[in-house]
Amino acid sequence: MSEIVEEIRTAYAPIGIALDAPVTYGTYYRLRCARCGTMVGNVGDKLLPGMIQTLLEEQFDLYAAGLLGCACGHQAERARALNPARAEAARTRFA
Ligand SMILES: [Zn+2]
């Protein structure tokens, strides 16, 4: 497991997303809902150190509002647990 893949895995964990096996060998990894296992996207491993944190920081409101993530609502719940005020503001803004 490369350092960047480990960084990506660690960055996605708090929002309730798990990294799965590579789709294309060592290039793209499936993202799955950590609660129900539904595939929620892919992520490439060509990111530079620190980029995944920036990306997830920018996507936080979309996860909080349920516009990104699994239909089961796990990522929206995680966003509410991580930052209740920001999650509530995002839900209001995107409602
Ligand atoms: Zn789910």
Q: Is 50 exposed, middle or buried (0-12, 13-18, 19+ CB in 10 A)?
A: exposed
C-alpha 75 to ligand 1 mean position (Å): 8
Q: CA 41, CA 25: separation in Å to the nearest integer?
A: 16
C-alpha 26 to ligand 1 mean position (Å): 25
Q: What is the DSSP letter of 45?
A: S
Instruction: Specify the pTM.
Output: 0.92
C-alpha 67 to ligand 1 mean position (Å): 13
C-alpha 39 to ligand 1 mean position (Å): 8
The mean pLDDT value for 25-41 works out to 93
Poorest-pLDDT segment among 19-23, 47-51, 63-67, 80-84: 19-23
Instruction: Give the residue numbers spanning the domain of 44.
Output: 3-94
Domain count, the chain: 1
2, 4, 17, 49 from 62: Cα distances, Å: 28, 24, 14, 23
Q: CA 31, CA 21: separation in Å to the nearest integer?
A: 9
* pLDDT confidence bin for 19, thresholds 50/70/90: very high
Q: Which pLDDT does position 21 carry in this prediction?
A: 85
C-alpha 46 to ligand 1 mean position (Å): 26
Q: Which pLDDT does position 1 carry in this prediction?
A: 62
Poorest-pLDDT segment among 22-26, 38-42, 65-69, 88-92: 22-26
Q: CA 87, CA 32: separation in Å to the nearest integer?
A: 21
C-alpha 72 to ligand 1 mean position (Å): 4
